[in-house]
Structure 1
Amino acid sequence: MVPFLELSEEEKHQVRIKYTEYINGLNDEVIVSDGHYSFMETVAFTEADGELYDIFIYLYCSPENLKERYALSEKNGKFAGESIESLRQWQEFEINNLREECHRRNKDFYVVSDNEEEQNKFFDFLSLLREGFSSYDLATDICNQIMEQFNKQDILYMVDGDKTIIIQDSYRFCCNGKTKIFDGDFYTGYQSFLFEKELQTASIDKSKIAEITINNEVYDIVASNNYVVLSSGIKDLWSDIANAKNLGTIFASPYISADVKYYVVKQLREHGYTIFAYGDSKIDLYMLREADKGFLYIGKRISRSLKNESLSGLVPIYDHSLVILADEDEEVQADIAICKSNSGISGSRLAAAHVRLGEKIGRHIAAVFPEKNTSILVLERGGRFFW
């Protein structure tokens, strides 16, 4: 028998299909199978894999740790020579494409970190899955409740909560809460599970609710229409915010992950609804892409979680208030004074002031506008200096 690693790619593909047929023939209640989506650019995942499994869990470890493990592995040592950036791109490729495969098939997708502190919590999460929890099923339940309340004749607006329908992050503002759970920008149901555990010790300062600010850039658009707020925040807190600010229908739960939002919109559209969606960050991105029209609220600064994402097709909503950097930075004022025609300064010192001003403007633009699919028009009074 020829070892698997010595087979051609087509032969390996056929073996993988036969493996799924074997698994499908088993009568076990729960089957856990290990595998790869791809090996660098070579995709190992098959259509049969996508149809067979009900839940897909991606085990993430940092590219640095991955490189160290490959260096010690006989089987995968060939990847030890890859750069950290190359490994990061490989992981991003796997996560994005596997998530897309799950979305296409209405399957649950979760990203789990290899953080040792989370190991016991992961086993608790597996127990939750055994008990029947499903991101897709949660979305179905929300979708059914929405359909009972709204007819499909009118456009239905789906709106994110924190930093979209309101200016603040409700957890940070009303609970003085900070979390690192979403630092990996995965926003799957596993991160939602961890967040729900963290919120169990949260204390709500209800006196802060009166200070919550409605985001009129979004609210003024949706207020006179049928709209639903989907929030991954605290249910009781959002109920109080809705009452205090006269908001409409709200679904709030830490378990409303990026995938839940996506599936809510997908199912509503499958039932004939026209959906306009509004959000501000990665947790909203898949919902925005799936909607008939997606609006990305950027405000004064684009969300860090969207840094590496393509935002093509989305309609940006900016804070259109005038920004005058000289009002915020004394160094800018000093450089502007140097650049004025009556400053009497010329040569390298004048050129350096122009460069510093350009860099400050560039950094501000980079913080506000997405890196991809953006054009910048620069209007200049005079010449340009080069270093």
Structure 2
Amino acid sequence: MIATNCGNASSDLPTLTADVQLDRATTTEPRSASDHKAVVVGLYGVPGSGKTVLLKQLKHELGQTHFAFYEGSEMIATVVPGGLDAFQKMKEQEKSHWRRHAIDAIGKNCADRGQVGVVAGHFMFWSEEQEAGCPVYTQNDLEIFTHILYLNIPAEVVAQRRLDDTERSRPSISTVHLSKWQQEEKTQLRHLCRYHGILFSLVSSCPTLLNKVSRLLQDFQYHNEKYNLSQAESKLDDAVVASKGQLETAWVMDADRTLAAEDSGALFWKMVSDSRPLEYERDTLKALFSGPLGHSYTAFRQAVILYEETADDQEFDALCQSVASAVTMHPEFVSLLQLVAEQRHVGAVVVTSGLRRVWDKVLEREGLSEKVKVIGGGRIADGFVVSAAVKGALVARLREAHHMYVWAFGDSPLDLDMLRKADRAVIVVGEEQTRSKTMDAALINAIDYDGLRARQAVLPSNATPRLDVTKLPIIKLTDPEYVKSLLHDRYTHGGLQVLCATDRKAAKLLATPMRDAAVAGPRLREAHRRVGWYLAIEFLADVIGLEQSPIWHVLGHQTRGYQLFHEPQTTVVALMRGGEPMALGVNDAFPLAMFVHGSDTDDIKLHHLQGQLTIVLVDSVVNTGKTIVEFVEHVRRLHATIRIVIVAGVVQAQCVSRGGLSHALARHANIHLIALRLSDTKFTGSGKTDTGNRLFNTTHLP
């Protein structure tokens, strides 16, 4: 790749295709950039793209203590007896010898001096009269270079620069040919670099080009696998320190296709390719990881560089926001992590090989970002990438350095090392058409030969399990006994949380018709319905939260509206018969919620709770709380982590202040009670005073 020109395109020159085939024959294993003693970075682009100017700017910007800068033609002049004039007169075979000698000298110089080499050179020459370009790279280039930066300057800009260059004489080349030349170089370089373990990036013309390239070179200077792991471990240690030594149990969770069915990386590149179909493919990551680099450290570093070349920080953040909006966490994990957020002795960390920024946004949307931290990369600024080895090392660190009991959750072969090193392992199994196609074989090997002991959680519940249930038993993440073991056999609770509107003016107005003996039947039902609606928007919305929902403005454009957080995943239960009117009012406020009649606890079935995040139990009057306790305990037997909210018109004060409801529900987590008013009066209605009879005009019945 170091050359002055191609000379004459004689028939004895190897073609580009022949050279690629030669390289494939002589290099059987891809190498890692981190294996080299010296970091040597190639700076490439078609003649006129600005390599020489940028090299001078970099020399001034970075200095020459830690970096060494080389112009290809100058280096050849140094090593060839007789300099450039003698080189130009040589046959191509001799030129190739001196090109190899020049790059070898650069590699040795950089290794001896501990410097990062930056080399401006050429990949091929291609005059407009030739049918194909003339490659000038050598096998030694592919062995010495650890990184290549390609100046992806618009062809029309390059053409104008060539015309304006008064320091050297260059033949006139059309913009069309320059564009064709660039595309050929980029295509071939991407292929060669991946096959030879060289990190490759396009850098585009922009006002911050010098700053961007400088930042990349500084990152290349020190980043290797050892440094990478130390950065990831430091991030983990920070999360542990933030817990102030209270953690006993840690959950380590993969993200894509574990916490959600979607793959954030695939979604990201689909969005990029849809907007720039000529530059990037939808399967960009698949092509990278299925290639010769596999899922190595170098492959993940290449992925980060691809993200860097695709968008600046602002564009990247906007893309991540769009991706996060398309990711839906499994409700089972949402409710589990909500429960973890209440625990002092249990912590959760998401360790993802995907995009940290996407998962930060997803967890923030779910209200979990304060408790659940994300360890991942995606940008140079993140400082590290997460490979399978890093995942395994972080689990080992939690156990050995921080002395924690570790649960690990994952879905693919990349997760097997961390699953094997954890105390307990759960394989998350999704739909057959979206889950990992290579996991079954890898699982069998890990179970039969590597000592993995795991269980599988099938999400959604109607998906087909992996392997057989003897080799990989099925568990349900919301089963009470399993949740107990997940939390290391103990819960910490803050007790029943009570919200009451007793002293509010709105509550006094709403309570008046409910207490008026002259009001009954439809009028009383409507009063209860209004109370249900009021308590829903005033209190329930605070307890559960709101999320944005697009609506059409009356002026004809789309604007921002709001709905209850995960409203479709909310179940409203009317405790019959007195609770029905108020429950209908709650449903009026949140029309997307499921509505269920509950005359008896058995009326609430498992399918009313599966996939749901909140259940709202609605009754008109709570005296002793016995009925409420029975319903809560029934729900908890079916689903250990779903949020339970009790909504009532009147609650007997001693029921929540001393014993009664508070005492009975103390062992249950994630429960709120919302009441229009608390009453000090101990009174159980019957006949004409019974609320149910008044609501439905049955006071005359015995």
Greater gyration radius: 2
TM-score normalised per structure 2: 0.29
TM-score normalised per structure 1: 0.50
Question: Which structure: greater strand fraction?
Answer: 2
Question: Which structure: greater helix fraction?
Answer: 1
Structure with higher RCO (Cα < 8 A, 6+ apart): 1
